[in-house]
Amino acid sequence: MKTATIVITLAVSSPIAAQVPVEWPVAAGGNGHWYVLQAQPNGRFWELVSRAEAQGGHLVSITSATENEFVRALSMGHNVHFGAFHDQGAPGFSEPASGWTWVSGEPWTWSGWCSNQPDDASWGGYQGQEVARFNTSTATCWDDAHSLVQLESIAIEATVIEWSADCNGDGVVDFGQIQAGVLADVDSNNIPDCCASAGREPPFPIVQWTVTAGGNGHYYAGVQLPADVTPANWWDEAQARCEALGGHLATPTSSSENSFIISQAVPQISPVSGLGRGPMIGGRREGGVWRWITGEPWTFTGWCGPEPTGDGNNLQYWAFSALCWNDFPGTVAYSNTYIIEWSADCNGDGLVDFGQILDGTIVDQDGDWIPDDCGIPPCAADVTGNGVVDGGDLGLLISAWGEVANSTANLDLDGDGDIGCIDLAHLLAQWGACSP
């Protein structure tokens, strides 16, 4: 990792040249975070916050006396803002001292206010000082200031940006690993590519039939095929599109599930008028027997009065105005709408994978809505064979980073020919004792 010598300058401030980010090493009593001093034009405090976040970091949070000294030295005699603001929504907020908060979300457990500060003083006719800075260019204590920094009597020349994120949970700050080339950052946003995809927007508006509401925890969506799609078989087309998103045509295997789909998922679709034009679902007749495409037992049916009449081998709701079941031939453009369901739980943790991809709990780097580690044996990351996925395995993976060689093929956990972020994510997911 990069290191740098920090020189404390107490002289009159000079123009700020571009600085190299430096680490506050744990070995030196620090936190392992990375910091840089950056010149900032006058502007609003929240503009400075946004500029820091756009670089993958945040305005510095000073949470101890030793960090205060480190940041003050890094400031090299310049007046700087850091990431403290007076949050009027904080519990116990009161002027001038209660309710101060770090933009990083770190606990407010230490402060370095100067004597009689903060004081919420007015300046230039503007009342209210709601952010913090060092009191003067040479002081080590804090003063409160206006969020519109050009109103200050002491010019704010710079900010200190801090990088503290460890999105892959390996105990090392991501920014430093990017600098060292250990983690890829192709888009240069200072967020590892293997972490930038954590948390996803769903492909459609979705509803979950939650377990707490008596459901199965599955997710559903009502979808309409694009107007320019004219497939040979409409049901097959819909099912293929569901599978491409890690789901399947919905299988209402009980009266309660059928009712949930009708009341919650179907209304997501703009109704198509006419009989035989309701949404397609995941039942199919094979060898004269109706089956669910998931293999679930066919124990419940919701047929319309005389159905099935043998019109076809595919299942749909008969019409938006009559949401009972109808059999239809998929080769006829009766319906261009369908219900998708996500039910897979490939890692067996009792939670639907789709929801865990949505909230970032599970990695889906290739964007197919299927966890990247599905199909990977539970002890694949135990490269040393000691029954535990630990630092020894991590060290081997990092040392083999890059294109796979014959001697490192066992470290290519996802089998893509490259040892990288996804393999690291798989290793961390299997961390600890494992049992084949």
Q: Are residues 114 and 218 in the same domain?
A: no
- For residues 263 and 207, give the distance between their C-alpha atoms in angstroms, rounded to a whole number: 11
Q: Are residues 115 and 245 in the same domain?
A: no
What pLDDT sits at residue 12? Answer: 40
**Distances in whole angstroms, Cα of residue 63 to Cα of each of 31, 70, 325:** 11, 11, 62
Sort strands 158-163 and 80-86 into parallel, antiparallel or unpaired: parallel
196 in any annotated domain: no
What pLDDT sits at residue 184? Answer: 79
96 in any annotated domain: yes
Q: What share of the chain is helix, strand, coil (3-state, %, to 5)?
A: 20, 20, 60
Give φ, ψ of 36 to 5 degrees.
-150, 145
What pLDDT sits at residue 155? Answer: 55
* Structural domain count of the chain: 3
Q: What is the CATH number of the domain that holds 63?
A: 3.10.100.10
Is 72 strand, coil or helix?
A: helix
What are the residues whose beta carbons fall under 8 Å from the beta carbon of 55, sequence distance 6 or more? 161, 189, 190
DSSP label at residue 217: S
Q: Are residues 100 and 45 in the same domain?
A: yes
179 in any annotated domain: no
Q: For residue 226, is the peptide bond before it cis, meaning its omega torsion is within 30 degrees of 0?
A: no
**Of 293, 317, 342, which residue sits at a domain end?**
342
Sort strands 131-134 and 100-102 into parallel, antiparallel or unpaired: unpaired
Q: Give, for all 436 residues of the chain, the pLDDT tens digit.
A: 333 433 333 334 456 777 899 999 999 999 999 999 998 765 577 778 888 888 999 999 999 999 999 999 998 877 788 899 888 778 888 888 898 999 998 999 999 999 889 988 776 555 568 888 887 656 788 988 876 554 444 456 788 999 999 987 788 999 999 999 888 787 788 988 777 555 567 778 899 999 999 999 999 999 988 878 888 899 999 999 999 899 999 999 999 999 999 999 999 888 887 777 899 999 999 999 999 999 999 999 999 999 999 989 999 999 888 899 999 998 876 788 999 999 999 878 899 999 988 887 777 766 788 887 776 777 888 888 888 988 898 889 888 888 777 777 788 887 777 788 777 877 887 888 886 6
Q: Are residues 257 and 154 in the same domain?
A: no
351 in any annotated domain: no
Contact assessment for residue 273 and residue 330, using Cβ atoms and an 8 Å cutoff: no
Q: Are residues 28 and 123 in the same domain?
A: yes
Q: Are residues 64 and 159 in the same domain?
A: yes
What pLDDT sits at residue 151? Answer: 40
**Of 342, 364, 390, which residue sits at a domain end?**
342
174 in any annotated domain: no
Q: Which of 33, 30, 100 is nearest to 66 (CA)?
A: 30
What pLDDT sits at residue 42? Answer: 58
Place of tokens 């059999």: 327
What are the residues whose beta carbons fall under 8 Å from the beta carbon of 236, sequence distance 6 or more? 330
What pLDDT sits at residue 66? Answer: 96
75 in any annotated domain: yes
Q: Are residues 334 and 409 in the same domain?
A: no
Q: Are residues 31 and 154 in the same domain?
A: yes
Q: What sign results for the dihedral spanned by CA atoms 50, 54, 56, 59?
A: negative
What pLDDT sits at residue 6? Answer: 36
Q: Are residues 145 and 223 in the same domain?
A: no
Question: Domain range spanning residue 321?
Answer: 207-342
- For residues 346 and 371, give the distance between their C-alpha atoms in angstroms, rounded to a whole number: 8
Sort strands 432-433 and 322-328 into parallel, antiparallel or unpaired: unpaired
Q: What is the CATH number of the domain that holds 406?
A: 1.10.1330
364 in any annotated domain: no
What pLDDT sits at residue 138? Answer: 62
Q: Which of 129, 83, 143 is nearest to 108 (CA)?
A: 83
**Exposed/middle/buried for residue 3 (C-beta within 10 Å: 0-12, 13-18, 19+):** exposed
What pLDDT sits at residue 370? Answer: 85
Q: What sign results for the dihedral spanned by CA atoms 219, 202, 412, 179?
A: negative
